[in-house]
């Protein structure tokens, strides 16, 4: 599962950097928060999660890791697309949809946190 997290983090990295370059070309920076969230919650967070899961295989061998993966990777795109559409003024309904995506992402992150706090092996002296 650690490898899967690392691979999906690279996809978010490519999306986030491409989005930043698009904003640079067009000089339209109203979607900066989307760019930042894709890079932080997609690229950086999932890469670090992947490294932790790789270093501690017992963490990736339980249901919390699977819940984390799916909630994070469903919630984040929903949140990012909805925020972009809301900022662009498509329809105000996208603000609560963004909140729903953010909640799914948050629950996924809490699954990771509980997994680490419950299952991280104690340091051997």
Span 13-67, pLDDT tens digits = 999 999 999 999 999 899 999 999 999 999 999 999 999 999 999 999 999 999 9
Alpha carbon distance 125, 114 (integer Å): 24
Whether the pLDDT of residue 121 is over 90: the answer is no
User: In whole angstroms, what is the distance from residue 101 CA to residue 62 CA?
Assistant: 23
Enumerate the domain spans of the chain.
2-119
DSSP label at residue 120: S
Q: How would residue 116 be classed by pLDDT, with cut points 50, 70 and 90?
A: very high
Residue 83 contacts residue 18 (beta carbons within 8 Å): no
**Rounded CA separation 35/25 (Å):** 14
Per-residue confidence (pLDDT) for residue 28, from 0 to 100? 85
Asked if residues 66 and 4 have their Cβ atoms less than 8 Å apart, the reply is: no
């Amino acid at each position: 599962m650690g490898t899967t997290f690392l691979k999906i983090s690279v996809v978010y990295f490519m999306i986030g950097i491409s989005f930043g370059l698009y904003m640079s070309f067009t000089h339209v920076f109203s979607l900066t928060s989307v760019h930042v969230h894709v890079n932080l919650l997609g690229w950086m967070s999932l890469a670090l999660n992947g490294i932790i899961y790789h270093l501690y295989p017992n963490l990736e061998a339980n249901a919390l890791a699977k819940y984390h993966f799916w909630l994070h990777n469903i919630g984040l795109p929903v949140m990012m697309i909805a925020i972009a559409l809301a900022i662009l003024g498509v329809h105000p309904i996208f603000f609560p949809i963004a909140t729903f995506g953010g909640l799914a992402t948050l629950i996924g992150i809490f699954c990771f946190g509980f997994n680490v706090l419950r299952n991280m092996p104690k340091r051997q002296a």
